[in-house]
Structure 1
Amino acid sequence: MSEAADVPARGVETHVGGTGRERTFFGHPFGLFTLFSTELWERFSYYGMRAILFYFLTDTFANDGLGLDDATGAALVAVYGSAVYLVTVVGGWVADRMIGARRAVLWGGVVIAAGHVALAVPAQWTAYLGIVLVAMGTGLLKPNVSSMVGELYRRDDPRRDSGFSIFYMGINIGSFTAPFVVQIARGIGGYHAGFSVAAVGMGLALVAFVTGRRALHGAGEVVPNPLTPADRPRVVRMIVLVALAVAAATALAWVVVRSGSSDVGALAVIIDALSYLAFGAPIVMFLVMFRSPKVNSAERSRLRAYIPLFVAAMLFWMIFEQASNTLSAYARDNTDLDVLGVTISPVLYQSVNPAAIIVLAPVFAWLWVRLDDRPPTAVKFAIGLTFAALSFVFLAGASAVAGDGKSPWWVLVVVYVVQTLGELCLSPVGLAATTLLAPQAFRGQAMALWFLAPAAGQAITAQLITATEGVSRTAFFGGIGLVTLAVAAAMFALAPWVTRHIREGDESDEEVAARR
C-alpha cells in the first residue's frame, strides 16, 4: 500500500516538505486539484454533448434536430468518436514537438468551448462546425492533460498511482453527472440549451485550468522533443504524406459511395474516408515498426505478441462505444422507459457506465492485488472481450423476446454493467501492455498506438451500421456478439503464445544487455 493511501481524506491542506510549506490536495501536489477540476468539467462537457448528439442528429427539423436517418446519424456519431482518437495522435505530437502539454490543453479547451458554442447556435452549418471543433479540440486536450498529471510526481513517488486514481475519479464524476444536467436543460430549452450546458462546462474547465496554473509548478511547460531546423524537411514530408493519405481516402470513399448510389452525399463520403484513415493508421504504424532497423529481434517478438492484443482491444471498443449510437437508438425506440411509474429519458442510460466504474473499480483493484496481478495480460484481454461479446448476445436475446414490443428498462442497464466488467479487465492493462511491448525507438508513440484501437473500432461500427441498414436489431447485435465471442475464444487459445513471446522478448533483451 502506498503512502498516499494512509493520508486521511482532509481535502486541501498545508504540507511541510523540503522546499517549505506547500498546499496539497488530499496529500497530493495541489496541481492535481487543478487538473482534476479541468478534466472533470471537460468530461462533463464531452459526455453531456455526446449523450444527446445522436438524438439531435436524427430528430426532425421541427424539433430543432438535423433530420438525418438513424443509420446515417449513428454512423456519423461513430466516425466522430473515431476522429477524436485519430486527432489525439496529432495532439500528442504537437505537444511533444511544438507547444508543450500545457498550451496544448489550453488551446484544445478553447477550441472545444468554441465547438459547444457553435452547437448551441440554432443553425445547421454551425452544428457541423461544432462537431468538427469539438473533435479537434478533444484530440488536442485529451492525451496531454493525463501526461501533465504524471509530471506532478517524481518517477519514484509512491503517491503516483493514487494520484491517477483521484484524477480518473474526476473523469467519472463528470461523465456520470453530465447526462442528468444536460437532459434537464434539453427538457427546458431543447437541444441547443443542452449544448449550452456543455459549453458552460468547458468554460469552467478553462477557468480551473487558467486560475490553477501556478499550482502546476511548470508541469507541461517544457517541449520534450522540440523541432530543430534539421527536422523541417522530415516534417514537411510527413505533412505531405498525411495530406496524400487524406486525399486518397476521400477519393476511395467517393468511388465506393458512387458505386452504391448515383447520389453522392458529402456526409457519406466523409464517414467512409474517416473510416479508411482509422483502418489504415494502425496498419501503417505496425509496418513502420516491423521494418525499422532500430527494432531488434527481441522487440519484434514482443510486437508480434501485441498484434492480437490490439485486435482484441479494437473489437472491444467497437462494441463498447456503441453506447452513443446504436444503444442510444435502442433506448429510444425499443426500451420501455417506465421505471416504477416514472418515465425516464433514454439519455440517462449514458450515466450507467461511469456509475458502475465508480462502484466496481475499487473491487477490481482489490481483486488484482489478491490474485497477485494474475491472470496474464492476454487472458485479461480475452476476458474483457468476452464480457463485451456477451453483452451484445444478451441484448440480441432480449430483442428477440420483445419481438415487436419493447424490452424492460433494466435490459440496457445489464448490458452497460456487463460491458463495464469487460472494460475493467481490458482497459487498465491496455496502456501498460502497449508501453511494455512497444519497441524502444517507438516508446514515445505507444500512447498514439493505443488510441488507434478505439479509432479503428468505431470506424468498424460506422461501416457496419451503413452496411446493415434495414437488418433487425436482433440480427445486428447477435451477429456482432457471436463473431466477437469467437474472436475472444481465439484470444484465449492464443494467450499462452502471447505470454511466451512477451517472456522471450524480455529474456532476449537481458541477453543483449549482458553482451554489451
Structure 2
Amino acid sequence: MSDSNKQKIVASVPQTGFFGHPRGLFNLFFTEFWERFSYYGMRAILVFYMYYEVSKGGLGIAQSTALSIMSLYGSLVYMSGVIGGWLADRIFGTSKAVFYGGILIMLGHILLAIPGGAVTLFASMVVIVLGTGLLKPNVSSIVGELYSEEDNRRDAGFSIFYMGINLGGFLSPLIIGTLGMKYNFHLGFGLAAVGMLIGLIVFIMTKKNNLGLAGTFVANPLSPTDRNKVFARIGSVAVLIAILVAVAISMGALTFKTFLTLVSILGILIPTLYFIVMYRSPKTTATERSRVVAYIPLFIASVMFWAIQEQGSTILANYADKRTKLDYAGIHISPAWFQSLNPLFIIIFAPVFAWLWLRLGNKQPSVPQKFTLGLLFSGLSFLVILLPAYLGGTHSLVNPLWLVLSNFIVVVGELCLSPVGLSATTKLAPTAFSAQTMSLWFLSNAAAQAINAQIVKFYTPETEMLYFGVIGGISIILGLILLLFASNIKEHMKGIR
C-alpha cells in the first residue's frame, strides 16, 4: 500500500474516543472480543461433544480420534490464515475479509447447534476454518491502519486489542462451557453463534463512523485480467480436488487416517517451502538472508512451544474431564472452565512482563534467550502435570490445583516467547516478504498442531507419565540447545536484538 493511501486512511479515522486511542479501536476491540468469545467457547466443549457417549449428548467418537480431530482442526485454522491474507491483499481488502469471515464463523456455529451428527460437525469445521482464516489475520491488520507509523500509541493500541482477545477467551469457557456441559452441547454452540452475530452487528453499525477508510484499500490488487485468470484457476483446482476426493473416497484410498497424515505433512512442508523461497529469492539481500537463517531455529522453537501449549484444548481438556476432582472446596467445576486459565493469566501477567522488559532495558535477555525461557517453562509445565500420576497413580483423581499450576507455568513461557516472536518476525523479515513472514509465524502454530494430530493418540492413562515426560523433556532439551547456540543466532541476526 502506498504512503499516500496510508495517510488518507489515518486522516479519515477519528483519532480520539476510546481510552485516548482512535475511535475505530472500539469497533475492532469488540469485534475480536466476540469472535474469540464464540471460537474459544465452541472449542471449550467441542472435544467433549465428540467423545461423550450419545446418551450424554455427544457423538460417541473414539477418544483418541476426537483428540486428533481437535489438533487437525486447530492446524487447519492457522493454515487458512495464509489464504485469508492473500484474498484480502489481492481481491477485496481487509474490511470485507473480516465481514465475510464473521458470516462464515457464525454459520459454522449454527451448523454445530443443529443436532445433525458427524455430517454437521465436519461441515461446520470446514466453514469455521475458512471464516477464521478470513477474519483473524485481517482484523489485526486493520488495527495497524488506524495509526500513522510515527504514532507512539500504536504498541499500546495493540495491547488493548490483545486484551479484548483474551477477555473473550477468558469469559467464553465459563459461560458457553457451563451451558454446553450442564444442559446441552447444541445450546452452547448456539450461544457461540449469537456471540459472533453480536460481533458482526458491532462491526457493521460502527464501521462507517469509527473506521473511516481503514480496511477498504486493497494493498496489492490484481488487475481485472489477472483476477479472471486467478478465479478460473481456483475454480479449476477446486473442481479437480473435488473429483479426486470423490474418487479417493469411493476407492477407499482417502480415509481419516490418510487425511490426517496429509495435513500433518503439509503442516511441515508449507513453512519449509516458505523458508526456501525467502532464502533463495533474488529480492532477499545478503543481510536479510542471514536473518532468515537466524529465524529458522526460532521457528522450530516456536513449533515445540505451541505443540505443548495447544494441548490445553485436547490432552489437558481430557485430563480435566477424566483425571481431575471436579468437586473441590464445595464447588462443582466444569472441565471446560480450565480453558479460561490461559487467557486469565495472560490478562494478569502480560503487563508485568511488559514492565519487566522495559525495566531491564538493554540488560534484558536476547531474543534467543527469551525463546529458551519459553521452551524451558513449557517443558516444565508438562513435567509438573506428570507428578500426580507419579505420587498417586494414574487411576486416582487429582487435585485441580495441579492443572492450575501447569497452566500458569506454560503462560509464563508464552509471555517469554509469543509477543517476542511477533516482534522478532517483523524485524527479521526480508522487506520483500514482510507480510508473508507474519503468516509464516502463525504457521508455526499450524505445524505444531499438525504434529499433535499424530501424537495425541498415544496418550492413555497407562502412558500418561511417559507421554508428559517425553514431550516435556524434549522441550527442555531443545531449549538448552537453543541457549547453547544463542550467540551464533544473534550473530546471524545482524544487529537485531
Question: Is the pair's TM-score, using the shorter chain for normalization, greater than 0.5?
Answer: yes
**Alpha-carbon separation, structure 2, partners of 1:471 and 1:99:** 52
Per the alignment, residue 409 of structure 2 pairs with 418
Q: Structure 1 unaligned segments of length 5 or more: list them.
A: 1-16, 508-516
* 1:6-405 pair list within 5 angstroms: 24-124=17-117, 125-187=119-181, 189-214=183-208, 215-228=210-223, 231=226, 235=230, 266-372=255-361, 374-403=364-393, 404-405=395-396
- Contact 1:121-1:127 at 8 Å conserved across structures: no
SS state at 1:85 partner: helix
**Alpha-carbon separation, structure 1, partners of 2:272 and 2:260:** 19
**Alpha-carbon separation, structure 2, partners of 1:314 and 1:133:** 26
Q: CA deviation at 1:471?
A: 5.6
Deviations 1:265-321 (A, max 9, x none): 733233222222111110111111122122222211111111000000011000000
- Contact 1:64-1:122 at 8 Å conserved across structures: no
Letter in 1 for 2:172: A
Letter in 2 for 1:385: L
**Alpha-carbon separation, structure 2, partners of 1:110 and 1:297:** 44
Structure 1 residues 133 and 243, CA, compared in 2 at 3 Å: closer, same or farther? closer
Structure 1 residues 164 and 299, CA, compared in 2 at 3 Å: closer, same or farther? same
SS state at 2:494 partner: helix
**Alpha-carbon separation, structure 1, partners of 2:181 and 2:12:** 52
- Contact 1:250-1:270 at 8 Å conserved across structures: no
**Alpha-carbon separation, structure 2, partners of 1:245 and 1:474:** 46
SS state at 1:371 partner: helix
Deviations 1:164-214 (A, max 9, x none): 111111111111110111123225531000101101100110011000111
Letter in 1 for 2:193: A
Structure 1 residues 231 and 69, CA, compared in 2 at 3 Å: closer, same or farther? same
**Alpha-carbon separation, structure 1, partners of 2:24 and 2:384:** 44
- Contact 1:81-1:455 at 8 Å conserved across structures: yes
SS state at 2:147 partner: coil
Deviations 1:433-456 (A, max 9, x none): 112112121112111110110000
Per the alignment, residue 13 of structure 1 pairs with none
Structure 1 residues 313 and 366, CA, compared in 2 at 3 Å: closer, same or farther? same
- Contact 1:47-1:175 at 8 Å conserved across structures: yes
The number of residues matched between the two structures is 481
Structure 1 residues 246 and 499, CA, compared in 2 at 3 Å: closer, same or farther? farther
SS state at 1:487 partner: helix
Instruction: State yes or no: 1:427 paired with 2:418.
Output: yes
**Alpha-carbon separation, structure 2, partners of 1:375 and 1:241:** 51
**Alpha-carbon separation, structure 1, partners of 2:80 and 2:194:** 23
**Percent sequence identity over aligned pairs:** 45
Structure 1 residues 365 and 234, CA, compared in 2 at 3 Å: closer, same or farther? farther
Q: For structure 1, which segment, 465-474 or 233-242, has the greater mean C-alpha deviation from structure 2 after superposition?
A: 233-242
Letter in 1 for 2:440: L
Q: CA deviation at 1:339?
A: 1.8
- Contact 2:98-2:139 at 8 Å conserved across structures: yes
Letter in 2 for 1:130: S
Per the alignment, residue 434 of structure 2 pairs with 443
Letter in 1 for 2:69: L
**Alpha-carbon separation, structure 2, partners of 1:331 and 1:156:** 47
Per the alignment, residue 10 of structure 1 pairs with none
Per the alignment, residue 6 of structure 2 pairs with none
Q: CA deviation at 1:20?
A: 12
Letter in 2 for 1:47: Y
**Alpha-carbon separation, structure 2, partners of 1:244 and 1:314:** 33
Q: CA deviation at 1:503?
A: 2.2
* 1:458-477 pair list within 5 angstroms: 458-466=449-457, 472-477=463-468
Q: CA deviation at 1:246?
A: 7.7
Q: CA deviation at 1:127?
A: 1.9
SS state at 2:361 partner: coil
Letter in 2 for 1:303: V
SS state at 1:219 partner: coil
**Alpha-carbon separation, structure 2, partners of 1:387 and 1:272:** 29
Structure 1 residues 178 and 445, CA, compared in 2 at 3 Å: closer, same or farther? same
**Alpha-carbon separation, structure 2, partners of 1:334 and 1:245:** 46
Q: For structure 1, which segment, 101-110 or 236-245, has the greater mean C-alpha deviation from structure 2 after superposition?
A: 236-245
Q: CA deviation at 1:239?
A: 5.3
Instruction: State yes or no: 1:408 paired with 2:411.
Output: no
Structure 1 residues 189 and 160, CA, compared in 2 at 3 Å: closer, same or farther? same
Deviations 1:26-59 (A, max 9, x none): 1111111010110111100000000001100101
SS state at 2:324 partner: coil
**Alpha-carbon separation, structure 2, partners of 1:168 and 1:393:** 29
**Alpha-carbon separation, structure 2, partners of 1:430 and 1:85:** 16
**Alpha-carbon separation, structure 2, partners of 1:19 and 1:329:** 49
- Contact 1:44-1:201 at 8 Å conserved across structures: yes
- Contact 1:182-1:197 at 8 Å conserved across structures: yes
Deviations 1:331-365 (A, max 9, x none): 11111122212221111000111110111011101
Structure 1 residues 166 and 466, CA, compared in 2 at 3 Å: closer, same or farther? same
- Contact 1:246-1:273 at 8 Å conserved across structures: no
- Contact 1:338-1:409 at 8 Å conserved across structures: no
**Alpha-carbon separation, structure 2, partners of 1:392 and 1:182:** 27
SS state at 1:28 partner: coil
SS state at 2:451 partner: helix
- Contact 2:303-2:447 at 8 Å conserved across structures: yes
Q: CA deviation at 1:469?
A: 6.4
Structure 1 residues 265 and 346, CA, compared in 2 at 3 Å: closer, same or farther? farther
Q: CA deviation at 1:154?
A: 0.8
Superposition RMSD in Å? 2.8
SS state at 2:17 partner: strand
SS state at 1:335 partner: coil
Structure 1 residues 186 and 360, CA, compared in 2 at 3 Å: closer, same or farther? same
